[in-house]
Amino acid sequence: MIFTDETTIQLFQNPNRVWKKKGERIIVPTVKHPQKVHVWGCFSSKGFGKLIIFTGILDSFKMCKIYEKGLLPIADKWFGADWTLCEDNNPKHTSNYSKEWKMKHKVQRMDWPAQSPDQNPIENVWHLLKYKVAKRHPKTIKDLKRVICQEWLNFDQNLARKFSNSMLSRVQALIEAKGDVTIY
């Protein structure tokens, strides 16, 4: 199983949380339109794969180019021809173009129920990555990209294995919750 997804990371994210007393006013500065980049990544129990940073709108065509550049080489290295892709039901993943591309490249996709809570463990990876990047306070897009890459490379195989192995518990929790909210 290879878990993939994309997310957006922006400059000036604040990972800090504060305690305050009732009635106490806390002012948190915000940036109205922060600069941002989009990232795509994948991982499996074998480790973390390639991270691709991009800008602009991600559509089915661009998604399949990312799969050619980032997914297929690592899938072949890790598993050969015997692997399954875990991705959400975003339209760029389920479009006719994407379906045809996956069929042509023999990519087997895990069925993902519509309207189900997102159980893909890569969501936990994104949360951790964003937290680590924000703690380093990059000031420019160039710094942001550099920090994102450094933090991604710092993730080790034990973390990937832990998140991969959590799938059984995630699915069990989802079944027990009858498709409702879970702790994941």
Per the structure, the count of domains in the chain is 1
pLDDT score, position 61: 96
CATH code assigned at 167: 3.30.420.10
Q: Is residue 29 part of a domain?
A: no
C-alpha 131/C-alpha 14 separation (Å) is: 8
Helices 157-165 and 167-176 pack at an angle, to 10 degrees, of: 30
pLDDT score, position 29: 62
Structural domain of residue 90, as residue ranges? Answer: 2-11+34-176
pLDDT score, position 20: 73
pLDDT score, position 47: 96
Q: Is residue 26 part of a domain?
A: no
Predicted TM-score (pTM) of this structure: 0.84
pLDDT score, position 59: 95
Q: Is residue 105 part of a domain?
A: yes
pLDDT by residue (tens digit) across 30-53? Answer: 666 678 999 999 999 999 999 999
Q: Is residue 22 part of a domain?
A: no
CA dihedral 11, 15, 17, 23 (to 10 degrees): 10
Low-confidence stretches of the chain (pLDDT < 70) are 13-19, 28-33, 114-118, 184
Q: Is residue 23 part of a domain?
A: no
Residue 138 CA: distances (Å) to CA of 17, 145, 148, 156: 19, 9, 10, 22
Q: Is residue 18 part of a domain?
A: no
pLDDT by residue (tens digit) across 74-93? Answer: 999 999 999 999 998 889 99
pLDDT score, position 82: 94
